[in-house]
Chain A
Amino acid sequence: MADTTNYPTGRQADSALMVELRGVSKSFGDVAAVVDVDLKVREGEFFTLLGPSGSGKTTVLRLIAGLLDPDAGEILIAQTSMRGKPPYERDLAVVFQSLALFPHMSVAENIAFPLRMRRRPRAGIQAAVRDALALMQLPDIGSRRITELSGGQRQRVALARSLVYRPNLLLLDEPLSALDRRLREDMQLELTRLHKEVGVTIINVTHDQREALLLSDRVAVMHEGRIVQSGQGRDIYDGPASEFVASFLGDPLLIRGEIRRSTGRYIFEAGSLRLRVGSDAREGRAVVVLRPEQLRLVLPGEDTTRWDNALPGIVKFAAFDGTGFFAQVVIEGERTVTVHTTVRDKLEVAEGDHVIVAWNTDEAAVLSQEES
Chain B
Amino acid sequence: MHSSEVAISTRSGSGTATSVGIGWRIIDMLISVRRSAIGVRMRKHGSSLLVLPALSVVAILVAGIGVLAWDSLHTFNAFYATLGNLSLTQYASTVTDPQFKVDIVRTLAMGSLTSVVAVTLALPVALVITRSKSRLFRLALLIVTFVPWLTGDITRTFGWLVVLGPRGPLVWLCNQLGIAPPSLIATLWAVGFGTVQVLVPPAVVILLPAILRLDPELEYAANTLGARPYQAFLRVTLPQLRVACFGALAACWALGMGDFADPQILGQGVRDYLANFLQNRYLELGDVPQGAATGVILIVLVTLGAALILTLGRLRWPRRLSVGRVR
Contact = CB atoms under 8 A, between A and B. Distances in A.
A65 B222 CA distance: 12
A129 B224 contact: no
B321 A161 contact: no
A96 B323 contact: no
B interface, size bucket: 20 to 34
Given A98-B217, A103-B240, A108 B321 contact: yes
Contacts of A138: 326
Given A100-B218, A117-B228, 18 more contacts: A66-B223, A88-B224, A92-B224, A94-B221, A96-B221, A102-B222, A102-B236, A106-B321, A113-B222, A113-B235, A117-B225, A117-B227, A117-B231, A126-B321, A126-B322, A142-B322, A143-B323, A162-B225
B215 interface: yes
Contact of B223 (A88, A104, A108): A88
Interface residues of A, number: 39
Contacts, number: 98
A106 B319 contact: yes
A143 to B, nearest CB: 6
Contacts of A182: none
A87 B231 contact: no
Given A108-B323, A142-B326, A87 B240 contact: no
Interface of A: 65-67, 86-88, 90, 92-94, 96, 98, 100, 102-104, 106, 108-109, 112-114, 117-118, 125-126, 129-130, 133-134, 138-140, 142-143, 161-162, 165, 171
B226 A88 contact: yes
B326 A140 contact: yes
Contacts of A106: 319, 321
Contacts of B319: 106, 108-109, 143
A157 to B, nearest CB: 12
Contacts of A109: 319-321
A214 B191 CA distance: 69
Contacts of A134: 326-327
A90 B321 CA distance: 26
Given A98-B215, A103-B240, A114 B326 contact: no
**In the A-B complex, the 3 residue pairs with the closest CB atoms:** A100-B221, A117-B226, A114-B225
Interface string B304-318: 000000000000000
Contact of A88 (B227, B236, B322): B227
Interface in B232-254: 235-236, 239-240, 242
